[in-house]
Amino acid sequence: MEMLIAGKWIDKEEKIEVRNPYDNSFIDTVPSGNAEDVAAAVKAAAEGCAVNRDLPVHRRMSILRKAADIVEENAEDFARTISTEGSKTIRESRKEVARAVQTMLISAEEARRIVGETIPFDSMPGSENRVGYYFRFPIGIIAAITPFNDPLNLVAHKVGPAIAGGNTVVLKPATVTPLSAIKLGKALMDAGLPDGVLNIVTGYGAKIGDALVSNKRIRMISFTGGVEAGEKIVKRAGLKKIGMELGSNTPVIVCDDCDLDKAVELSVSGAFWAVGQNCIGVQRIYIEKEIYKRFETLFVARTRQMKIGPQLEEDTDIGPMITEGEAKRIERWVNDATKKGAKILTGGKRRGSIYEPTVLADVPSGCKLDKEEVFAPTVNLYPVKDLDEAIKRANDVDYGLHAGIFTSDIGKAFKAIREIEVGGIIINDSSDYRIDMMPFGGVKNSGLGREGIKFALQEMTEPRVVCFNL
Ligand code: NAP
């Protein structure tokens, strides 16, 4: 496939191969972009700024709605693309496509709600003869940098509101999963998006990242990815607005008064969705000690039922990790934890890029599985004395994106809501529950700012004051 600059689909001699992480089979190539391609894309985006700014809101809305229709009409093709270039099973990918359609439709709806207010200038003595208001205007060029794990919907979460708000975009998708993003770009162009409003540069972040994020014409960086890349980008960005959707090592608390079967079922799903490569996937489960053994037995039994296989087979529950290197990394982390005393209750073996769904107990505090983001199909079970201990340990990390709690006690739920340091808390469901219109983002190392269309639109537009001296 090709990259998109100034409305033209461009190929290059130097290419990057896109391969299926299950069996390394070849899928397609994309151009290997360089700093000149970034500069050309920024130039095109600069020329597109006035075009999208001046596009009536109803036109932006109809383009976004039409693109959503195109994605929906080709849903199975999009799902198969996600499942061949990435890790997700076909059932998971179908859900991602359905959500991406929603993300585009919500972007269209929110475009009509970008509103301002009148300002009571006469509240200040001496300003009695003044009237005015503020409205929100587009911020300009947005650099959108996206990760591999939701290669379609997380792109829609940046491109949808950016277009709705009248901005232009230079998109750099993850190098291992660029095809879903390019297909979304094609849907938008087929829907009538003017040239230059969306530009897509494919290429390695390590090679073109600096040229993109340090470009002075770019007014905002909207980044989703890991903390390491996020910190590098912040250091290079200079004076521009920054949105950071980063990682986490999400806690879930299971209280002794909860519906245990439901807690087990939903936590297993939350731990192993997308092979655990999910920023709000369940990583640390704190279980009140009265029910710990029962929970552990049921959780391990349910995990053992998960079927590993190729992503496109309908009954596969767990596909490959995104690369063999990532599977080797988690193998090292698990070996390190077991050397320090952790016990593997099930799983723990690697075959190429496949890592078995793995449940651990006695994970010592301070090792990587306990403190860092695993982004892999492993989950730690911890018995705790009571809710106070669970909350204290849930908070004792550098991340804070989502948390979950299972309880039938409303008092316990409200205590957790008040005291857990996160951007979202889910009661009686796994931490990985999300819909696309809610504010989404984290505290601590989990990020800066919020996505969720209405909230992204606040970040992607700015208020301009208008004052008449009568
Ligand atoms: P990543 O390695 O940080 O890469 C994310 C994107 O940044 C990719 O497009 C990457 O390009 C690019 N990049 C890397 N270094 C860069 C640099 N120096 N300058 C500019 N761009 C650079 O993350 P990932 O492995 O794809 O995704 C997993 C991470 O994303 C996890 O930590 C996960 O928690 C996080 N995530 C967060 C959310 C959220 O909403 N909070 C959602 C999903 C995922 P290349 O692909 O070319 O390296």
Tens digits of per-residue pLDDT, 105-115? 999 999 999 99
Q: Taking a C-beta distance cutoff of 8 angstroms, is the pair 172, 41 a contact?
A: no
| Span from the CA of 206 to the centroid of ligand 1 (angstroms) | 11
Ligand 1, atom nearest to 247 Cα? 34
Q: What crossing angle do the helices spanning 90-111 and 57-73 adopt, rounded to 10°? A: 170
Bridge-based pairing of strands 461-469 and 447-448 is unpaired
The verdict on whether 245 is a catalytic residue reads yes
Tens-digit pLDDT string for the chain (470 aa): 999 999 999 999 999 999 999 999 999 999 999 999 999 999 999 999 999 999 999 999 999 999 999 999 999 999 999 999 999 999 999 999 999 999 999 999 999 999 999 999 999 999 999 999 999 999 999 999 999 999 999 999 999 999 999 999 999 999 999 999 999 999 999 999 999 999 999 999 999 999 999 999 999 999 999 999 999 999 999 999 999 999 999 999 999 999 999 999 999 999 999 999 999 999 999 999 999 999 999 999 999 999 999 999 999 999 999 999 999 999 999 999 999 999 999 999 999 999 999 999 999 999 999 999 999 999 999 999 999 999 999 999 999 999 999 999 999 999 999 999 999 999 999 999 999 999 999 999 999 999 999 999 999 999 999 999 99
| Span from the CA of 344 to the centroid of ligand 1 (angstroms) | 29
| Span from the CA of 173 to the centroid of ligand 1 (angstroms) | 9
| Span from the CA of 335 to the centroid of ligand 1 (angstroms) | 25
| Span from the CA of 403 to the centroid of ligand 1 (angstroms) | 21
Nearest residue (by CA) to ligand 1, atom 48, is: 205
Ligand 1, atom nearest to 175 Cα? 46
67-91, pLDDT tens digit by residue? 999 999 999 999 999 999 999 999 9
What is the Cα–Cα distance from 211 to 86, expressed in whole angstroms?
A: 27
Radius of gyration of the chain (CA): 23
| Span from the CA of 41 to the centroid of ligand 1 (angstroms) | 20
pLDDT of 407:
98
| Span from the CA of 251 to the centroid of ligand 1 (angstroms) | 22
- Residue 231 CA, chain-centre distance (Å), reads 17
Question: Which one of 85, 92, 110, 245 is the catalytic residue?
Answer: 245
- Residue 325 CA, chain-centre distance (Å), reads 21
Ligand 1, atom nearest to 228 Cα? 3
What is the Cα–Cα distance from 437 to 441, expressed in whole angstroms?
A: 12
CB contact set of 274 (below 8 Å; sequence gap of 6+): 87, 88, 92, 149, 150, 281
| Span from the CA of 147 to the centroid of ligand 1 (angstroms) | 4
Nearest residue (by CA) to ligand 1, atom 40, is: 245
What is the Cα–Cα distance from 123 to 125, expressed in whole angstroms?
A: 7
pTM (2 d.p.): 0.98
| Span from the CA of 153 to the centroid of ligand 1 (angstroms) | 14
Nearest residue (by CA) to ligand 1, atom 13, is: 205
Q: Collect contacts of 349-355 with beta carbons under 8 A, ≥24 apart.
A: 352/320, 352/324, 352/327, 353/21, 353/22, 353/320, 353/321, 353/322, 353/323, 353/324, 353/326, 353/327, 354/22, 354/308, 354/318, 354/320, 354/321, 354/327, 355/275, 355/321, 355/327, 355/330, 355/331
Longest dimension (CA), the chain: 77
Nearest residue (by CA) to ligand 1, atom 26, is: 147
Ligand 1, atom nearest to 440 Cα? 40
pLDDT of 134:
98
Nearest residue (by CA) to ligand 1, atom 30, is: 225
Q: Collect contacts of 61-65 with beta carbons under 8 A, ≥24 apart.
A: 61/108, 61/109, 61/111, 61/112, 61/164, 62/108, 62/192, 63/163, 63/188, 63/191, 63/192, 63/193, 64/104, 64/105, 64/107, 64/108, 64/111, 64/160, 64/163, 64/164, 64/191, 65/104, 65/105, 65/108
Q: Which of 172, 176, 275, 326 to mutate to test the pocket of ligand 1 (most atoms within 8 A of CB)?
A: 172
Ligand 1, atom nearest to 210 Cα? 19
Ligand 1 shell residues, CB under 6 Å:
145-150, 154, 172, 174-175, 204-206, 209, 213, 224-226, 229, 232-233, 245-247, 279, 373, 375, 401, 447
Nearest residue (by CA) to ligand 1, atom 22, is: 205
Ligand 1, atom nearest to 233 Cα? 19
Nearest residue (by CA) to ligand 1, atom 8, is: 174
How many other β-carbons are positioned within 10 Å of the β-carbon of residue 435? 11
Place of tokens 């010592």: 364
Question: Which one of 49, 255, 258, 279 is the catalytic residue?
Answer: 279
Ligand 1, atom nearest to 451 Cα? 40
What is the Cα–Cα distance from 72 to 74, expressed in whole angstroms?
A: 5
Mean pLDDT score across all residues of the chain: 98
Residue 118: phi, psi to the nearest 5? -80, 155
Nearest residue (by CA) to ligand 1, atom 42, is: 279
The verdict on whether 296 is a catalytic residue reads no
Q: Taking a C-beta distance cutoff of 8 angstroms, is the pair 127, 121 a contact?
A: yes
Bridge-based pairing of strands 399-400 and 402-406 is unpaired
Nearest residue (by CA) to ligand 1, atom 43, is: 279
How many other β-carbons are positioned within 10 Å of the β-carbon of residue 462? 17
